[in-house]
Structure 1
Amino acid sequence: MEKFKKEIPFLAIALIPFVYLIYIWNRLPEKVPMHWNGAGEIDRYGDKKELVAVLLMLVGINYFVFLLIPYVDPKQKLQNMGNKLNIMRMILTLFMSALALFILYSVEQKNSNPGFVFVIIGLLFAFLGNYFKTIKPNYFIGIKTPWTLENEEVWKKTHELGGKLWFVGGLLMALTFVLPNNIQFYTFMGITAVITIIPIVYSYRIFNKIKNQ
C-alpha cells in the first residue's frame, strides 16, 4: 500500500495528457495533423486514434520503464541513488507530459511552433546533464558504451564530461527558439550530434589510456 501511495504523483502526472485527449476527442476531426517539418508546416495527416499511440510512447513507456528498472537492474546500482532517482523520474515524467500536452494542443489548433519543442527537449538535456555525475554504472540510464560499462572509472569520467556537455548543449538547444524556423532544426541536430559523439569517443580513449597503464 505504501508503494502505491508513492506512485500516485507519478501516475497522476502521466495521466494528464490522456485526460486532455479525452476532453478534446469529440472536437477533433477523424484526420488530424501527425507530423510537422522543421519550418512548422504540416506534412502528414493521420487517424486521430494514432494520438493514443503517441501518448503511450511518450508518457506510458517513460512511466513503466522507470517503474520497472530498479527491479531488473542486475547490479542494483540504481537503488543506491536513493531519492535522486525519484527526483529524476519526476522531472522526466513532467517533461514528457508537457511535451505530450503541447503535441495534443498543436494537433487541436493545427499549428505548431517547433521552437517550443526544442525548448522542452533542450531543458530536458540540461537537466539530465546536471544529474549525470550522480548516476551509478547501470544498463538503463546514462552514456552506455562498451567501455563505460566495462570500467567504473571510465563511466565516472565520461559522465563528468558528458554531464557538462549535455548541460551546456541543452541550454543552447533551448535558445534555438530565437532562430528562424528554417535553421532551428539543423542547429538542434548539430548540437545533438556534438554532445552525443564526443562522450562516446572520449569513453573509448579514456578506456584505452587506463588499460595501457
Structure 2
Amino acid sequence: MKPARTLFISALFVLILLLAFVWLSPHMPARVPTHWNAQGQVNGYMSPLGAMLTPMIVIAVLAMLTLLLPAISPRGFAIMPFGSIFALIMLAVQAFVLVTALAVLLNAAGHPVQMPLISMLGIGALLMIVGNYLGKLRKNFFIGIRTPWTLASDAVWERTHRVGGWLFMLAGAAGIALALAGGPLGVLVAIVLGVALALTVYSYIAYRRLELHH
C-alpha cells in the first residue's frame, strides 16, 4: 500500500471522528464517560472535546509512525520488504481506535452503546486481522513478536510468527465469542496475556532447538 493512500485513509478516519463530534456534541454532558473497568463500570471521564481530541491524536501519531518507522529501520531489519502488510496492520489499529471513539461519543450523546461489548468485539477483530498477517512479517525492531530469541534468528522469528498467527486468530475468535456470550473483559485480557507468555516461551525453546544444537 502506497504511503499516500495510507495517509488518505488516516485522514478520512480523523474526518469521520470530527464530523461525529460536531453532530453529537450538542447532546453531550460536560463530562463524558471514556473508560470502563472489567465489570463494565465507568471509572474515567473527559470533556467532550478531550474525548474527541485524544483518539484523533492517537490516529495521527499512528499515521506518522506508519511513514516514519519504515524510513528509519536499520539495515537487516528493514520494514520496506513487507511495507504493505505493516501499513495494513497500522490502519487496522487506527480503525479500532476510531470505532471505540465513535462508540464513546455515541454513548455520551444518549445513544445506548454497550462499551465493554464494543471493546471486546474490536479487540477480537483486531487480533484476528493481526494474526492473519503475522506470519508475513520479517525481522524488525518495531512490529511483531520481538523477543531476544526471535531477533537473534531469522528461523526462530519465522516459526514464532507462524505459530503466533494461529494463536492470535484463535484468541481473537475466542474474544468475539466471549463478547457475544456476555463474558467479562478480564477473561479476554487473560487470554491475550496467556498467548503473549506462550509465544515468549516458544521463541526461547525454538531458539535452543534451532540455534544452540547446530
Equivalence for 1:126:
128
Instruction: List alignment gaps of at least 5 residues for structure 1.
Output: none
Contact 1:29 1:48 in 2 (8 A): yes
Write out per-residue CA displacement over residues 62-114 of structure 1, whole angstroms, 9 at most, x where no aligned residue. Answer: 22221211111113621111533343344333333222212222232375411
Q: Which residue of 2 aligns with 1:99?
A: 100
Q: Tell me which of 116, 119, 137 is aligned to 1:117.
A: 119
Which whole-Å CA distance do the structure 2 matches of 1:198 and 1:179 have between them?
Answer: 25
Q: Is the 8 A contact 1:10 1:63 kept in 2?
A: yes
Counterpart-to-counterpart distance in 2, 1:206 and 1:174: 30
**Alignment correspondent of 2:171:** 169
CA-CA distance at 1:142 after TM superposition: 0.5
TM-score normalised by length of structure 2 = 0.86
Please list the CA deviations of residues 171-208 of structure 1 after superposition, one character each: whole Å capped at 9, or x if unmatched. Answer: 1111112333xx41222112111211111111112112
CA distance in 1, matches of 2:7, 2:14: 11
Unaligned stretches of 5+ in structure 2? none
Spell out structure 1 runs of 4+ moving beyond 4 A.
Answer: 2-6
Aligned to 1:87: 88
RMSD across aligned positions (CA): 2.3
Q: Deviations over 1:49-73 (max 9, x none)?
A: 3314431454233222212111111
Classify the secondary structure of the residue corresponding to 1:68: helix
112-121 vs 36-45, which moves further: 36-45
**Is contact 2:121–2:176 with CA below 8 Å preserved after alignment?**
yes
- Measure, in 1, the Cα distance between the counterparts of 2:3 and 2:195: 36
TM-score by length of 1: 0.86
**Structure 2 residue identity aligned to 1:44:** G
Structure 1 residue 6: Cα displacement: 6.0
Aligned length: 210
- The percent identity for this pair of structures is 23
Q: Hey, what's the Cα distance between the residues in 2 that align with 1:170 and 1:3?
A: 28
Q: Is the 8 A contact 1:122 1:173 kept in 2?
A: yes
**One-letter amino acid matched to 2:94:** T
